[in-house]
Structure formats: C-alpha cells, structure tokens
Amino acid sequence: MKKEKNITRFSKENGKAYTFRGWRLCITRNGERFVRYFSELKCGGADGALAQAVAMRDEMLRELQVDGTDSAELFRRYRRMGNEC
C-alpha cells in the first residue's frame, strides 16, 4: 500500500479490545487544523474507510488551491458534514 499524504492508520485500544480501527485525515493550513476519522466498521472495512478519507482529502485540497479560499471557513463547513459511509 502506498503512503497517503495527510492520512494515517489509526486504532484505539481499551484493554485488549479495539474500540476504533480506521484512518485519520489531518490537514493544517494557516494555523487551523482539520481532523476526521474514518471507521473500518462504518465504511465497509479498511479499504472502504481509506477510500473515503482519500476522496475527502482530494476534494478539500482542490478547494484549498483556489485563490481566496479561507481555510478556516472551509474546515468549518467540512466539520458540519457527516461521514458519507
């Protein structure tokens, strides 16, 4: 699997059991940070969760490349959105 920029594998353990497994999307611009987690359980496995994270990252980075885009406003808009999966 190739390394994806701004996306990392993430798992949270509680004792011997995992409470979360999935992917973490993190984008930082102008001192503002956007973080979203994509659960394997909700997105149909590791591949589905990764695909959702990559799609959101690509969409956000395209919008951030437009001149005059306010990263803080863009991050607020995406925070209000639910996960597609």
pLDDT of 13: 83
Torsion on CA atoms 36, 67, 70, 31, rounded to nearest 10: 70
Is 65 among the domain residues?
yes
Total structural domains within the chain: 1
Is 2 among the domain residues?
no
Domain that holds residue 72: 7-80
Q: What is the pLDDT of residues 16-63, one digit of tens each?
A: 777 899 999 999 999 999 999 999 999 999 999 999 999 999 999 999
Which DSSP string do the residues of 22-46 spell out, in sequence order? EEEEEEEETTEEEEEEEEHHHHTSH
Contact 83, 36 (CB under 8 A): yes
Is 1 among the domain residues?
no
Is 85 among the domain residues?
no
Q: What is the largest CA-CA distance in the chain?
A: 48
Residue 2 pLDDT grade (very low, low, confident, very high; cuts 50, 70, 90): confident
